[in-house]
Amino acid sequence: MLIPRQPAPALAVDTLAHGRFDLSTASPERFTLVCFYRGLHCPLCATYLKELERLVPEFASRGVETIAISSDGQSRAAEMAEKIGAEALRIGYGLALETARAWGLYISASRGKTSIGIEEPALFSEPGVFLIRSDGTIYYLSVQSMPFVRPSFAEMVAALDFVIKSQYPARGEFTGAV
């Protein structure tokens, strides 16, 4: 179980246009927003990533670097980047399922072609959104077992204004007996 205020698991993937991403060497002013998405086969992911692409400048103005990552290979990741018009959003690919599991992501098995006619990979990870502090600790996490009902990036931008202004601490950190 991942715990806020504790170190994030290792994460290193290739990206389409920004070289290799390694969380351990990331140096955001405040946070790295890591958005794990299901892959090219998921129409909800495309809509979700379009919203993130649109808001990348808002996150950047708050000291937050962004990356979207899936277990898709390079060609499928490139198709997704084209589909969402990715210019500012880093797109990572080739997420190992063992790494996905270390991040607490759920793994699903293929059910064939999706509603948009694209074959699901044999195995792939379900969505998750994380804010990782510049010191490498987990600030926020949300993991889904389904493709729908994900955190709103617009609400996250607004929440960051409060978080930054009030130096709001990560919550959910208590691990003692209850």
What are the angstrom distances between the C-alpha of 37 and each of 70, 75, 110, 148?
Answer: 5, 16, 15, 11
Average pLDDT for runs of 10 along the chain of length 178: 97 97 98 98 97 98 98 98 97 98 98 92 98 98 96 98 97 96
Spatial contact of 106 and 125, defined as CB atoms under 8 Å apart: yes
Instruction: Count other C-beta atoms under 10 Å from residue 68's C-beta.
Output: 27
pLDDT of residue 43: 96
Considering the entire predicted model, what is its pTM? 0.97
Q: Where are the alpha helices (DSSP H) in 16-152?
A: 43-60, 74-84, 97-102
- Residue 25's Cβ-count burial label (10 Å; 0-12, 13-18, 19+) is exposed
